[in-house]
Structure 1
Amino acid sequence: MAVTTTTTAEPRFGFVILHYLVDEETVKCVESIRRHCAQADGRYTIVIVDNDSANGSYERLLRRYGQDGDVVLLHNDANEGFARGNNRGYGYCRTQLGCDYIVTLNNDVVLADDGLMRRAVADYAATGCAVIGPDIISGKDGGHQNPMSAVVDSPQQIRALRKHIRRNLLLLRTHLYGVFERLKGGAGRGHDADGATPSTQEHAGQRACVPVKLHGSCLIFTPAFLEAFEEPFDPGTFLYMEEDILVLRCRRQGLTLYYDPRIVVRHAEDASTEAQVNHDPRRKQINYLRHHRDSLRVVERYV
């Protein structure tokens, strides 16, 4: 279904927060939007999508925000993962609320300044871009997560990633990963704690406003994107590599992605994941690699 978006002087924004388990983080996210978008009262709606949290957190959010006019709560009957969870909130903003811009945020992201809405509109007017990424400051190390490095967009990259994932899964399942890393004597530098390869790592120091691959924890979709896509993410993934796939989908439509360091958010990182795996590093690594492996199959369809 085609959607006609507007470019009025006061466009409407939808903020989609994907919630899972950790309602304290979701509350911080909601309140940061309210605080930093106070000047735009009535021109935005916050849509919280609960991915079937089974710990009472959705019910607590419902009690807190269920009667508030600026918040809508949606509940999934199963954990749909990152892509499908965000797709539901995006679809609601696009078709039910008639939003011109849709911002998807992890629930552990908070806005850090008042300029997001104003600057997003200005960026779109100046560039016609489809997706805008802010400066995302990591709560773990203070690093800048945008823009990200090169897109995985070749059969050679896919083969290398698949080989890397198979090896690390085997080592983790046999409890030999730590031994292997020690034997390499640090030669494995370039892989992060989750086993990601250098091709999926962020360039922390890159700061220019250029078309780029953008970190998925906070994305601003403009009228150009809403015109082209009914869903922001390929529903074939559960977690990981959505950023690569988003770039490939935009390329097919001749659309660009844009990084604006003047828009600032802070990202606590992995709050829901940590809660799900009870802070077990080995289990977290295995989950990461398995989902990454599955996402590679989706990437292949676009390459």
Structure 2
Amino acid sequence: MSNESPRVSIIILNWNGWKDTLECLESIYQIDYSNYDVLVVDNASQDNSLEKIKNYAQGLETVESRLVAYRFQNKPLEVFVFSEKDYFNLPGTVKEDLDLIPSDKRIIILKNNQNHGYAQGNNLAIEFALKHLDPDYILILNNDTVVHEDSVKCMVNAAQKDEKIGAVTPKVYYYDYQGRSDVISHAGEKFNLYIGRGKRFCKNQV
């Protein structure tokens, strides 16, 4: 049995929001985890997002953030760009090509040909990951998220404890709650599978 950590495909949907996306990416590339893929799926942005993300990968676009310090050391990133028309017609060596490069030195950009919305945009990226990357877990992140360095490791460890666990979520803090970043927005939810809705815990607790 392999001692390698489970593989996690981290998916970030971007639509005309490159500044938030770059801050999110910077936090991801500082996580304490060794086996992951970063997929940025762009919903046909019109704000030059793709060029900004590529420039970030080359170390040409820095990030200003009150929560994560920019690091030059983890740049440049090897960029893999795929167009929507090719998502499911790629050669079977995509994973092997990616695995030649360390997790923290590569980024996958998926270019949707139109704005598919949040659900379908993410679903296309999930299908791509399942077909080409063989992940053990998929992590969906909003692009205005900044992750703690331990977040992925903690979620994987929790999921690994019981095979009946189908999904996990971290505690989520407000980015800025009246100048504070230590206020919990929510810490999971009780989800009703019959109606497809959940009730969050610790919402708006100060």
TM-score (norm. length: structure 1): 0.45
TM-score (norm. length: structure 2): 0.64
The correspondence of residues 201-240 of structure 1 with structure 2, limited to 5 A, is: 202-204=200-202
Distance 1:205 1:17 in 2: 23
The one of 65, 89, 110 aligned to 2:146: 110
The one of 59, 63, 81 aligned to 2:51: 59
The one-character-per-residue Cα deviations of 1:116-139 (angstroms, maximum 9, x if unpaired) are: 22x233222222211111101122
Partner of 1:126: 161
Q: CA deviation at 1:59?
A: 2.4
Supply the AA of the counterpart residue of 1:203. Answer: F
The correspondence of residues 77-92 of structure 1 with structure 2, limited to 5 A, is: 77-92=113-128
Q: Mark the CA change 1:148 to 1:124 in structure 2 (over 3 Å): closer, same or farther.
A: closer
Supply the AA of the counterpart residue of 1:20. Answer: W
Q: Mark the CA change 1:10 to 1:30 in structure 2 (over 3 Å): closer, same or farther.
A: same
Distance 2:6 2:198 in 1: 34
Residue 16 (str. 1) matches residue 52 (str. 2):
no
Q: Is the 8 A contact 1:28 1:110 kept in 2?
A: yes
The one-character-per-residue Cα deviations of 1:187-246 (angstroms, maximum 9, x if unpaired) are: xxxxxxxxxxxx876332699xxxxxxxxxxxxxxxxxxxxxxxxxxxxxxxxxxxxxxx
Q: CA deviation at 1:16?
A: 0.4
Distance 1:135 1:7 in 2: 30
Distance 2:15 2:166 in 1: 27
Distance 2:134 2:22 in 1: 25
The correspondence of residues 189-204 of structure 1 with structure 2, limited to 5 A, is: 202-204=200-202
The correspondence of residues 136-285 of structure 1 with structure 2, limited to 5 A, is: 136-141=172-177, 142-148=183-189, 151=192, 153=194, 202-204=200-202
Structure 2 spans left out of the alignment, 5+ residues? 59-75, 79-105, 178-182
Supply the AA of the counterpart residue of 1:144. Answer: S
SS in 1 for 2:124: helix
Q: CA deviation at 1:10?
A: 2.0
State how many pairs are aligned: 155
Distance 2:142 2:126 in 1: 13
Q: CA deviation at 1:111?
A: 0.6
- The answer to which structure has the higher helix fraction is 1
Q: Is the 8 A contact 1:94 1:100 kept in 2?
A: no
Q: CA deviation at 1:21?
A: 0.8
Distance 1:140 1:151 in 2: 30
Supply the AA of the counterpart residue of 1:68. Answer: L
Distance 2:190 2:157 in 1: 25
Q: Mark the CA change 1:146 to 1:55 in structure 2 (over 3 Å): closer, same or farther.
A: same
Partner of 1:97: 133
Q: Is the 8 A contact 2:22 2:56 kept in 1?
A: no
Q: Mark the CA change 1:204 to 1:140 in structure 2 (over 3 Å): closer, same or farther.
A: farther
Q: Mark the CA change 1:77 to 1:149 in structure 2 (over 3 Å): closer, same or farther.
A: same
Q: Is the 8 A contact 2:40 2:109 kept in 1?
A: yes
Supply the AA of the counterpart residue of 1:27. Answer: L
Supply the AA of the counterpart residue of 1:51. Answer: N
Q: Mark the CA change 1:206 to 1:35 in structure 2 (over 3 Å): closer, same or farther.
A: same
The one of 70, 77, 80 aligned to 1:68: 77
User: Which one has a bigger Cα radius of gyration?
Assistant: 1
SS in 2 for 1:46: strand
Q: Mark the CA change 1:89 to 1:29 in structure 2 (over 3 Å): closer, same or farther.
A: same
Identical-pair percentage: 23
Q: CA deviation at 1:8?
A: 5.3
Distance 1:106 1:205 in 2: 18
